[in-house]
Structure 1
Amino acid sequence: TSLLLLEAEVFDNPKFKRNLRDAAESLEVGSAWELQTNVNPLIRPPEGSLQEALQEEAPGEEWLVPPVPLADNPHLVTPAVKWNVQPGAPTHLTELFGPVLSVMRFEKLDEAIDLIHQTGYGLTSGIETLDEREQEHWQARVRAGNLYVNRPTTGAIVLRQPFGGMGKSAFGPGIKAGGPSYVTQLMNFKETGEPEGVNLTDGILRALAKRVPTAELEAALCSYTKQAHDEFKCEHDHQRLLGQDNLRRYCPVERLCICLHQDDTQFEIAARLGAAHAVGCGVFIAGPDAESWSDFGTIVPEPNTTQFDRLRYATPERVPESIRHAAHKKCIYVADTPVLSEGRLELLWYVEEQSLSNDYHRYGNLGPRFEEKRQSASNSV
């Protein structure tokens, strides 16, 4: 954790400020071989943005706990706390891999969430509050890969809290390490039969099936409907621990561009549009004959990488090199795997995974959930 956002009442409380200083100064700095060490050496002496953060103060901020380099080891720096960091300051917007904590003040929860999103990073985020309304609002708005409620923001465990970020804290499709889908991004798939599905009930999917009346597309849309219901639009708690929720869930890509190519088949176009609608993406369409698909998304002149969170092409060879380079510079993922009818695989390219861990107990007291049965779910694997 490099940012600490404090509600005004807490920020203005001198006792909290004093306790935070005491906690930081109490951390033991030393060798990794010493059992009492809390802060280990850096892998290299501070340099670049970390060195600047340790040496400089931006307007309005001050050192609550100043850093102290240890002369006998240039890799060791004592924990530092910057107080009253202002929005847009270097230590607000820069990811620092060193013992520097930036403390910021906010009035309303939405203001704090906006400060988080301004960084562009989204690996982990945590909140400390007993107000369930605040918890729910924060969980719905924050764009980060791992969310923690009333617990430490480290210590992710395989399957319990699959790990990986969003935004500038993600690489590629962002499929989480330690989750059930991780290996899919390392594989190539070939369909051998018709996937399992359910009847179409969604109006947009039924309209797509009518637009391209083939058995292949209908089977794909039925599979997308089933997998959206069973996997992608619900929350999964594989461990069901007493006193702690660990939810694995998916967030639809908010601004997804379906990129058309002159060689695309009607199936490849309709299937991508159906998959995006099945999970709830914000759908944009660009490319040849895009206007004819205007009933299924917003038409844009080109897949501008500054406008979208992700681009979806039908095959790798149809992605222009200029688009690849532009997307690379903006850290935008280009999903270009062949379009599949199996929803469990195809829908992965239209969502971002998120883990939520919530300590709902209070010092062992389970509150209104004391009678809840906590055991392994039958469909946990």
Structure 2
Amino acid sequence: MTRVVLTGSIETARLFASWRPEREVLAETSGKNVIVVTPAADPDLAVADVVRSAFGHAGQKCSAASLVILVGAAGDRRTPTGARLRRQLVDAVGSLAVGLPTDLGTVMGPLTEPAEGKLLRALTTLDPGERWLVRPRSLDDGRLWTPGLKEGVAPGSWFHRTECFGPVLGVMTAATLDEAIDLQNAVDFGLTAGIHSLDEDEIDRWLDRVEAGNVYVNRHITGAIVRRQPFGGWKASVVGPGAKAGGPHYVAQLGAWRDALAPDGGPVPPRDDEPEAWLAWAEADDRRAWDSVFSRAHDPSGLRAEENSLRYRPVDVLTVRVGEGARGVEMRRVLHAARTAGVPAVVSAAPGVAVPGAGTPETDEAFAARVAAGEVTGRVRVVGRAPGLREAAVRRAGLVTVLDRPVVASAERELLAVLREQAVSRTRHRYGHVQPR
């Protein structure tokens, strides 16, 4: 089986997928990345990390910050905290030295190509309610720009929802942390996200709700390192199964898997001859893998000054498409994996396929049409055959993921269909003083 592996925009991934729908595309795509700053943040560290995240490499990294959300008093210029944050942010952005990389004094260099399209609009246009705190200026033919900082970005506005990688940062405000998280999660993408706060309860609340593949606490949100911060997003920031580059499952998702030997070296019971024994083995393996691997965070780097954990978060819902040729025991195996992770499952069955509790049968054409129309989103686990499904899904790449490889007994393959990997990187020191865990 041939596959396409790429890093680029969601539009590029959909273009590749449309050429040959049967060929799987695995892509790390776009982001609209946000840092939340609460009144409990250290202002000096917060401003330094926001500016580094937004304007390093002229804001052209896929992980770069595009928005900062100031919470409560941090967003109110009438308070000492809000006034200080804005003043320092404006000073830091306005003092960035812009120039060619051949000049040793340059802090922010040029764009890879002249600004156009979404980025040009972001650098030159204000929507209702917005104003420049630092107005960007073109210094040449459109490749060298001074950084821009705009405030008053409204919820649901163009700049709130649209990715535009370049040297421009928007400022939003929120009355509460929960409101800030809602704004952070409201975009279609989920690549990187950050928070600056010294309040443990705020950090825990944010970590429980944030929807992004790489999340950062009290540090900048760019510069992921293999193993330490395996890289890859959620939602429209990823196309394909979603295992993170630099993580323990990335290479495995490139392979074709079948039942063979169990972890103890013995054979997996044959599903054709001993279907109930095969299912029992799979269910036991789900419990083993959940307890030992997927229900807990893992920090293999073990640094004292920085936590770098990989954890697994259940998807919102799993759609199970049961088509011609499906074995009942395979469907039961997929549903057990979903139950193990606490994920609700919606079953759609083709006519003539007996599936208890599946509701009204649905033809392949009807199900594919619902996928193409955006009525089915998230993960779709196929059991049996589903003709036309991949062709329908390519137009929704990043919003719907078709998982149609053969069902296997191994929990470390099937549980990943209902889980999303999330890398958590958290600074555990302030100014070099390591904090106790």
Question: TM exceeds 0.5?
Answer: yes
- What does 1:304-343 align with in structure 2 at a 5 Å threshold? 304-305=370-371, 306-314=375-383, 318-321=385-388, 323-331=389-397, 332-343=400-411
User: What residue is the counterpart of 1:10 in the other structure?
Assistant: 74
Q: SS where residue 353 of structure 1 aligns?
A: strand
Q: Which runs of 5+ in 2 are unaligned?
A: 1-64, 77-81, 266-273
> Is 1:5–1:103's contact at 8 Å kept on the other side of the alignment?
yes
Distance 1:352 1:48 in 2: 32
Aligned equivalents of 2:247 and 2:208: distance in 1? 21
1:293 equivalent in structure 2: 356
Partner of 2:154: 86
Q: Residue type of the partner of 1:284?
A: V
- Percentage identity across aligned positions? 40
> Which residue, out of 109, 112, 132, partners 1:63?
132
Q: State which of 8, 29, 32 in structure 1 corresponds to 2:101.
A: 32
What is the match of residue 174 of structure 2? 106
Closer, same or farther: CA 216–108 of 1 in aligned 2, 3 Å: same
2:231 to 151, 158, 163: 163
RMSD (CA atoms)? 2.3
Within-5 A mapping of 1:266-305: 266-288=328-350, 292-294=355-357, 302=367, 304-305=370-371
- Structure 1 pair 277/299, CA: closer, same or farther in 2 (3 Å)? farther
What letter is aligned with 1:4? V
Query: After superposition, what is the alpha-carbon deviation per residue over 1:287-310, rounded to whole angstroms, capped at 9, x for unaligned?
Result: 14788433xx89896574334311
d(CA) in 1 for partners of 2:360 and 2:189?
29
**1:77 corresponds to 2:145:** yes
Q: In structure 2, what is the Cα distance between the partners aligned to 1:146 and 1:347?
A: 20
Please say if 1:362 is aligned against 2:424: no
Residues 97 and 275 from structure 1, CA distance in 2 versus in 1: closer, same or farther, beyond 3 angstroms? same
Asked if structure 1 preserves the Cα contact closer than 8 Å seen for 2:243 and 2:421, the reply is yes
Tell me what 2:88 maps to.
Answer: 19
Structure 1's 189 and 309: CA in aligned 2 closer, same or farther, altered over 3 A?
same
Match of 1:257 in 2: 319
User: CA separation of 1:103/1:290 partners in 2, compared to 1, >3 Å: closer, same or farther?
Assistant: farther
1:87-236 alignment, distance < 5 Å: 87-194=155-262, 214-236=276-298
Closer/same/farther in 2, CA of residues 43 and 299 from structure 1, 3 Å limit: farther
SS state of the match for residue 383, structure 2?
coil
Please, what TM-score do these two structures have when normalized by structure 1?
0.86
Q: How many residues align?
A: 350
> Letter of the aligned partner of 2:322 in structure 1?
L
TM-score by length of 2: 0.75
Is this contact kept in 1: 2:323–2:353, CA < 8 A? no
CA distance in 2, matches of 1:298, 1:274: 19
In structure 1, how many angstroms separate the alpha carbons of the residues matched to 2:335 and 2:264?
19
Offset, 1:348? 1.8
**Cα contact 2:379–2:403 (8 A) shared by 1:** yes
Q: Deviations over 1:272-297 (max 9, x none)?
A: 11111122222111114788433xx8
SS in 2 for 1:214: helix
Task: Spell out, residue by residue over 1:19-39, the C-alpha distance to the aligned partner (whole angstroms, 9 max, x if none).
Answer: 111100111212233333222
Shift of 1:248: 0.2
Whole-Å separation in 2 of the counterparts to 1:32 and 1:224:
52
Specify the SS of the correspondent of 1:67. Answer: coil
The answer on whether the counterparts of 1:173 and 1:352 sit within 8 Å (CA) in structure 2 is no
* Change beyond 3 A, Cα 1:251–1:299: farther
What letter matches 1:158 in structure 2?
A: V
Counterparts of 2:285 and 2:417, CA distance in 1: 15
Distance, in Å, in 2 between the alignment partners of 1:319 and 1:142 is 33
Question: Where does residue 377 of structure 1 map in the other structure?
Answer: none
In structure 1, give the amino acid aligned to 2:223.
G
Consecutive unaligned residues in structure 1, runs of 5 or more: 198-211, 370-381
What residue identity is the alignment partner of 1:69?
S
Answer whether contact 2:132 2:149 (CA < 8 A) is retained. yes
Q: Is contact 1:163–1:355 with CA below 8 Å preserved after alignment? A: yes
